[in-house]
Amino acid sequence: MWAVLKKEIKSYFLSPIGYVFIGLFLIMSSVFFYLDVIAYGSTQFETMFYSASTILTFIVPVLTMRMFAEERKSGTEQLLYTSPKSITQIVLGKFFAAVAVIVITELLTFMYFIILCFLGKPHLQTALVTLFGFLLLSMAYISFGMFASSITENQIIAGVVSIGFFIVTWFLPSFGSAISTFSLIDMFDKFPSGLIAVEEIVRFVSFTVLFVLFTIIVLQRRKSVK
């Protein structure tokens, strides 16, 4: 897993993708920081994350769309799948590389918290819980984005499928309670209030594990039908 993980993180920052992702996120969250926090004269760091979480819908696919689609298109998947690494190791390597980029981004967003420290007394625990929830949400998004990338060799399709799916999950709550439990954004909304909700954590983790597994199954299956 480490071999793939190291290489993927390197790739994110050798190509513009890593910088584009972090740059876009920071620009947009700066806007939300101003609109949601500063403009209200508040020191509640976490409130900006209600809006910031929607950005993930559009920028997580930037990280995930190339994961397997590009390897498949360029043929480098042959090098990967003929190496002694198992498909599980490869998938997890790629998954955690994308998670690492998110972690780096989150560390950078912590500067907003530091700014707030000069202006008042923001609540550290709530901020950390929010960032934790944000990480869980990102992981769920990444797992689906990765799955989308594994079913096609066209990066654009992988990206569009992911964005489409994420947008659909926004609207799930309007369809009644049974499906609304699958709304990722809704699951996240508990965290900025500073609560570590076990139910939400379980749902996020299950969602993530499910799509990581789906990715592994898709790639494993392609070996025998390809």
Partner 1 sequence: MVKVINVTKKYGNFTAVDNVSFEINDGEIVGLLGPNGAGKSTTMNMITGFIEPTDGTITIDGFDIIKKSKNAKREIGYMPEGVPLYFDLTVKEFVNYMADLKLVPSRDRKQEVERVLKETLVYDVSDKLIRNLSRGYKQRVSMAGALVGNPKVLVLDEPTVGLDPKQITEIRSLIRSLSKDHTVILSSHILSEVSQLCDRVIIINRGKVVAVDTPHNLECKVKKENAIILTVEDKNDKISKVLKCLKGVKAFELIKENADGTKQYSIISEDNVDLRKDIFAQCAKEDLVIFEMRNSEVTLEDAFMKLIQVKEEKE
Is 146 buried (19+), middle (13-18) or exposed (0-12) by CB count in 10 A?
Answer: buried
- Residues touching partner 1: how many (CB under 8 A)? 26
By CB under 8 A, tell whether 176 contacts partner 1. no
Taking CB under 8 A as the binding criterion, the range among 10-18, 55-63, 110-118, 143-151 that sits at the site for partner 1 is: 10-18
Determine the distance from the C-alpha atom of residue 71 to the mean position of all C-alpha atoms in its chain, rounded to a whole number.
20
Site for partner 1 in 48-87 (CB under 8 A): 74-86
Handedness of CA 84, 88, 94, 96 (dihedral sign): negative
The helix or strand, by DSSP H or E, that contains position 155, with its residue range, turns out to be helix 155-171
By CB under 8 A, tell whether 19 contacts partner 1. no
Q: What are phi and psi of 218, to 5 degrees?
A: -60, -45
Taking CB under 8 A as the binding criterion, the range among 2-10, 37-45, 46-54, 55-63 that sits at the site for partner 1 is: 2-10
CB of 82 to partner 1, least distance (A): 4
**Residue 125: other Cβ atoms inside 10 A:** 9
The residues of the shown chain that bind partner 1, judged by CB under 8 A, are: 2-4, 6-7, 10-11, 14-15, 74-86, 223-226
